[in-house]
Structure 1
């Protein structure tokens, strides 16, 4: 017999919302500002994010150290990486986000009969601005900033921290996110059902449930 779901955890970035100006755009702007041919991509930055999350105190410091490390790995002066990060940081506005279709409605509907929380890889100052811009700053009973309040996803610790705050059990909980490596792998390691917002990639690990969009949460897949 399948245990019914009473607790729902959400990721933030590219799950509840997205930036109006993409990371690709900002990185291109940074390279252009220094008249440098691009030598890394935004995916390279995201792939290295976890290395610096637990050793830096802010997203700006994290980005600076990450860009410097990437520059050094590409036989460039680390100071160039820091200069690129300065431009990126100057142009990034964490309040300039838009909700993904169906995201606000899903949170409101699920909160009627579920405990709801957030587990996000990102510092409190940055992620709180996004939730405030979305009008969701009071929508969740707990927000865990993985990499700051607990180890970064996919470590199971931030999921367990959120469930502890919500008096939830993994067996009756789901986590909704867009990242296979962080959200799906982390949720499954913590014993939760994983709900993946499909980005078109080949799913590995395989999620328990898949969404084409957040609008599908009007009929949660775990109730099927």
Structure 2
């Protein structure tokens, strides 16, 4: 392995536990729905009906509808499953969801210190995150990522929006990150929780290696896919980098 000069990070459920922020947001939305909608409305059922709609199409594929308005329409579709139609309530539910997520969207304890340790050892860092350009930029702002990563942050949705860029797992976004920090692909590692976007993408781009965050250890690496290390938390990264001889021994 060529000497590693940079470490790239995924954002959601790697540097920030987005899943935990989502859980809090869903709790608040469920409670609000039962306040705003007619008696007998199930907040839990509303969430269960909204999730597949969101995962199928989290924003307007043609880019013609603003993302918050699009997601409010998904809440409207979900409440229709229980026989309700209240556009104003749908807007309030989306505001509750996105607002709560941003309130909770912070680097976990120890994450900033871990990244600063990498900097002190001479490693450059950057963030490569997929998602809607507006949503992801708000998340990056909420957790103060620009300060920690010296504005070296790439958002897949922005890359696609300009018409000539790509999201992960396309090699181009990893290569652009290399250009931001001034290293070759084989001089960078990438850390993330997605097997396809992060691990597969980094390997396809010719990076020195991919480090997989497998929170809870419930998943398995597919046969034939290799990771330089498998961690349950990004906070284990310094130890893994020492084992890979990227960082000096303690």
Same fold (TM over 0.5): yes
Is it true that 1:92 corresponds to 2:98 in the alignment? yes
Change (3 A) 1:43 1:75: closer
- Structure 1 runs not aligned, ≥5 long: none
Shift of the 51–12 alpha-carbon distance from structure 1 to 2, 3 Å rule, reads: same
Q: TM-score, normalised by structure 2?
A: 0.68
| Aligned position for 2:130 | 121
Aligned-CA RMSD value? 3.7
Deviation of the 1:214 alpha carbon: 2.1
Is 1:31–1:38's contact at 8 Å kept on the other side of the alignment?
yes
Distance 2:6 2:106 in 1: 25
**Structure of greater Rg:** 2
Say which structure is richer in helix: 2
The match for 2:163 is: none
List alignment gaps of at least 5 residues for structure 2: 161-165
Q: Which runs of structure 2 are paired with 1:24-173 in the superposition (5 Å)?
A: 24-27=23-26, 29-30=28-29, 33=33, 34=37, 35-36=41-42, 37-38=45-46, 40=48, 44=52, 47-48=55-56, 55=63, 59-61=67-69, 63-64=71-72, 84=90, 87-93=93-99, 94-112=102-120, 113-141=122-150, 142-150=152-160, 151-173=166-188
**CA offset digits 1:6-34 (Å, max 9, x no partner):** 11111111111135963244345545514
TM-score (structure 1 length as normaliser): 0.75
The count of corresponding residues between Structure 1 and Structure 2 is 221
